[in-house]
């Protein structure tokens, strides 16, 4: 398995250039084609419902403005790729809303790359969660200032199907990393989970893929678990910081998004607070 097509979200936000630079480095390292996708923000279903003879100058002006903004962002993407002399890339102007447009195009890619939520761009607040859940592809969520490479990778492991799928789909990155560490967060509320995760120890399987990995168990204080719901996510991020990891790999939304939103979940905590790129798979 290898990444041959990467899809990166292109917009006019202040952090788009850093996200694109990260995607270009990844494409070069993987020998992959990079597609830059700039959705206009207007649902494709709206375009389909508009009668060709309808003359609404106000709506037409709004649609033209949205498309012009997407074109401007896409032109910056092309300039950045050309300046870096990236070999294989294409630019896509997508007449669709941000989330659905990215999901549709991601299904014909190996990996989707999106930015972390930006308070200055509220329209994109739900982009990463939506693409993670609905694209059917691994999604790499990039913070405003990502590391230059993915040399030190931390993998969150609990023996669950989301974690297993994330581990499998991250293989191209794990093979290139200098160091891979697996962390198993110990939960006092569910002691059997650690035992089950150790039974499904992924290290022998990884070794047969040419990847040597270390595994550690990260304990949580029992009293904190009684009062807080996001300690596992915080523990993962603290471990990533302590290990100076460049990338975190984890499964996403083991519970429904509604339940995570109500109770506070690992996925939500990591998406909101991560300062390193996170590869998530649902």
Span 85-101, pLDDT tens digits? 999 999 999 999 999 99
Lowest mean pLDDT among 38-47, 107-116, 251-260: 251-260
pTM of structure: 0.90
Q: Are residues 50 and 126 in the same domain?
A: yes
209-242 exposure pattern, b = at least 16 Cβ within 10 A, e = fewer: eebebebeeeebeeeeeeeeebbbbbbbbebbee
Q: Is 180 part of a structural domain of the chain? A: yes
CATH value at residue 109: 3.40.50.620
Report yes or no: 111 and 138 within 8 Å, Cβ to Cβ: yes
Q: What is the extent of the structural domain holding 235?
A: 152-275
Tally of domains in the chain: 2
Q: Are residues 134 and 159 in the same domain?
A: no
Q: Are residues 138 and 201 in the same domain?
A: no
| CA triple 2-114-116, angle to 5 deg | 135
pLDDT value of position 113: 98
Q: What are phi and psi of 133, to 5 degrees?
A: -80, -40
Which helix (H) or strand (E) segment is 10 a member of? Answer: none
Q: Is 67 part of a structural domain of the chain? A: yes
Q: Give me the percent of the chain exceeding a pLDDT of 90.
A: 70
Q: Is 281 part of a structural domain of the chain? A: no
pLDDT in tens, 240-257: 999 999 999 999 986 555
Lowest mean pLDDT among 132-136, 204-208, 228-232: 228-232
- What distances in angstroms separate CA 101 from CA 26, 39, 43, 255, 273, one per listed residue? 22, 6, 8, 25, 25
Q: Are residues 156 and 138 in the same domain?
A: no
Domain boundary residue among 142, 163, 181? Answer: 142
Does the pLDDT of residue 221 top 90, yes or no? no
Q: What does the pLDDT average to over 126-133?
A: 94
Which of 237, 227, 241 has the alpha carbon at shortest distance from 273? 237
Residue 4's pLDDT band (cuts 50, 70, 90): very high
Q: Are residues 17 and 62 in the same domain?
A: yes
Does the pLDDT of residue 226 top 50, yes or no? no
Does the pLDDT of residue 112 top 50, yes or no? yes
The mean predicted confidence, pLDDT, of the chain is: 88
pLDDT value of position 198: 93
pLDDT in tens, 261-276: 533 488 999 999 999 9
Q: Are residues 27 and 95 in the same domain?
A: yes
């Amino acid at each position: 398995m290898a990444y041959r097509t990467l899809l990166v979200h292109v917009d006019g936000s202040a952090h788009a250039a850093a996200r694109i630079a990260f995607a270009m480095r990844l494409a070069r390292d993987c020998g992959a084609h990079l597609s830059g996708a700039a959705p206009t923000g207007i649902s494709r279903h709206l375009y389909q419902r508009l009668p060709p003879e309808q003359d609404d100058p106000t709506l037409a002006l709004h649609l033209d403005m949205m498309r012009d903004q997407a074109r401007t962002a896409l032109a910056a993407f092309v300039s950045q790729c050309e300046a870096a002399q990236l070999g294989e890339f294409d630019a896509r102007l997508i007449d669709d809303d941000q989330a659905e447009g990215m999901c549709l195009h991601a299904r014909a890619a190996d990996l989707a790359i999106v930015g972390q939520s930006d308070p200055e761009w509220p329209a994109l607040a739900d982009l990463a969660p939506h693409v993670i859940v609905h694209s059917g592809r691994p999604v790499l969520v990039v913070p405003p200032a990502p590391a230059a490479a993915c040399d030190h990778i931390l993998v969150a492991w609990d023996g669950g199907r989301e974690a297993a799928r994330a581990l499998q789909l991250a293989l191209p990155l794990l093979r290139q990393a200098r160091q891979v560490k697996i962390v198993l967060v110990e939960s006092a509320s569910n002691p059997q989970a650690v035992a089950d995760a150790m039974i499904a120890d992924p290290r022998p399987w990884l070794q047969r893929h040419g990847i040597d990995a270390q595994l550690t168990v990260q304990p949580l204080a029992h009293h904190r678990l009684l009062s807080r719901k996001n300690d596992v996510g915080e523990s993962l991020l603290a471990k990533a910081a302590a290990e100076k990891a460049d990338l975190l790999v984890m499964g996403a939304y083991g519970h429904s998004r509604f339940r995570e939103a109500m109770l506070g979940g690992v996925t939500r905590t990591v998406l909101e607070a991560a300062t390193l790129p996170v590869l998530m798979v649902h």
